Amino acid sequence: MSRPLTFVQTGDLHLGSPFAFAGDKAPWLVRAQLDAFVAIIQLCQQVQADCLLIAGDLFDQPVPDLALVRTVQELLGSLEQTQVLIAPGNHDPAAFDSPYRCESWPANVRIFLDTLEKVDWPESGVRVFGCGFTSTVAPIPLPLVPPEGLDPDWINLCLVHGELNGAGSSPYNPLDAAILAEVGYDYVALGHVHAFSGFLKERQTTYAYAGCPFGRGFDETGTKGVIIGTLQKQPGLASKMALDLRFSPIGGRRFLAQSVDLTGCQDHRQAADAIRTALQAAAGKTWPDHACKITLTGDLAPDFRLSLAVLEPLLHGQLFWYRLVDETRQPVDLNTLAREHSLRGAYVRQAQLDLQQAADQGQQRDLLILTRALELGLAALRGEEVGYETDPA
C-alpha cells in the first residue's frame, strides 16, 4: 500500500500589498496579511503536509521589497518536512529581475518557471506538474501538457495560475476545464480567483481555487482559508486513488463590510451599542479583531444629529480597524417647517408645490430629483457642507 500524501493549497497572498486606502493604519493591515501567511506555515506543520502548493501571486509586486523576500524565504525554509512548490502568477511573474530567478531559495522550495516541469513523490505515486508566468500577462495558455503525455500509473496534479473559462478572452493564462480533463490530470490546484471556488469536477479531473487567505480590501470580504488535500493510491480498485479535499478557514483578521441600521437610536451612545451588537452578530466572539467598513443606515430620531466625530471616540480602541460611512437619513416634518416665517419656510412651501405638481403629472424622475434637492437644500440651510453627484443617466 502506498503512503498517503497530504498537501496544503494556497495562492494569491499578495504579500507586500500597500493597503494605501488605510492611510496611517496601512502597516497594521500589512502585518495582518503576513500573519495569515504565518498561519498557513503553522498549519502545514500541524497537518504534517508533504507539500505546500502556492498557485501564484505570492507577492503583490514583480520585484518585492528584499526584506519581505527574506522573511518569506525564512518562513518557507522553516518547513523541514514540507516541499514547497510555487507557480508564479501575473503579479509576481518569474521575469529576469524576479527574486524567483535572482535570489537563492531554501532547499525545500521549488519554483516553476516558463517550462512545464514536475516533482515526484515515488513512495506515494504522486506527481505534481507546474508552470509559471514570466510576464504580467499570458494571453497564450501556459504549456500544461507534457510532451510524453501523463503516465496514468501516477496520480497527476497540476499547479498553475490562470483564469478558467477565459478561452481566448483572458490575458491571464486562459484555461479550459475540458482540456485539463482531456490531458488527464487528477487534480488541478488553481490560483488567480480570490474567493474559494468550491471543488469542481470535469470527468475524472477535480479542480479548485483556494482563494486568497487575506483580502486586499472591502471587495474581498468573507471567510478566507486554504485547501487541505490527502491523496492515496488504491491499486486494483476501479478508481485509482482516494482523494479527500476540504476547505480549512484561516482564523485571524479579515475584511468585514457591515451595515448597521440606526433607526430609533436617540444618541451616539445608542448608536455605538448598535454597531457593537451588529458586528458581534456578524463575526461572533472575534468581532473586535477585523478590519470593518461600517455603513450606518436608517432614519435617525428627529432631534438626534449624528456626528462621526462624536461617535468615533465611543468606539475608539475597541476595534482593530474601522471606517464609518454615514448613509443615515434625518427625517423632517415638512408641514411644521412650511409654517415657519423664514427663508426655510418659504423654500419648503415652494418645494412642496413643485413636488405636488410632479406627483399630479406622474413624473417619477422629477419626483426623485425634487426630493433629493429638498434634502440637500435643507442641509445647506442648516449650514452643512453639501456634496452631490450628478446622475450619469
- Smaller CB separation from Mn ion, 50 or 57: 57
Q: How far is CA 201 from CA 10, 126, 176, 198, 340, in A?
A: 19, 19, 12, 10, 69
CA–CA distance, 104 with 329 (Å, rounded to integer): 58
CB of 381 to Mn ion, least distance (A): 49
Which cell goes with 376? Answer: 440637500
Task: Catalog residues that contact Mn ion under the rule CB under 5 A.
Answer: 12, 57
- Smaller CB separation from Mn ion, 163 or 186: 163
β-bridge mates for residue 231, sequence order? 5, 243
- Smaller CB separation from Mn ion, 93 or 141: 93
- Smaller CB separation from Mn ion, 171 or 184: 171
CB of 190 to Mn ion, least distance (A): 11
SS3 at position 255: strand
Q: How many residues does the chain have?
A: 393
Residue 32's H or E segment, with its range, is helix 26-46
**Phi, psi of 151, deg, nearest 5:** -90, 115
CB of 192 to Mn ion, least distance (A): 6
- Smaller CB separation from Mn ion, 12 or 50: 12
Question: With the C-alpha atoms ordered 172, 178, 183, 188, is the resulting torsion angle positive or negative?
Answer: positive
β-bridge mates for residue 243, sequence order? 231
- Smaller CB separation from Mn ion, 12 or 220: 12
CB of 293 to Mn ion, least distance (A): 21
CB of 220 to Mn ion, least distance (A): 10
- Smaller CB separation from Mn ion, 218 or 320: 218
The separation between CA 283 and the C-alpha centre of its own chain, rounded to angstroms, equals 16
Q: How far is CA 262 from CA 6, 154, 269, 319, in A?
A: 49, 60, 11, 19
Which cell goes with 6? Answer: 497530504
252 Cβ contact list (under 8 Å, min separation 6): 32, 35, 36, 39, 214, 289
**Other Cβ atoms within 10 Å of 336 Cβ, number:** 11
CB of 89 to Mn ion, least distance (A): 6
CB of 212 to Mn ion, least distance (A): 7
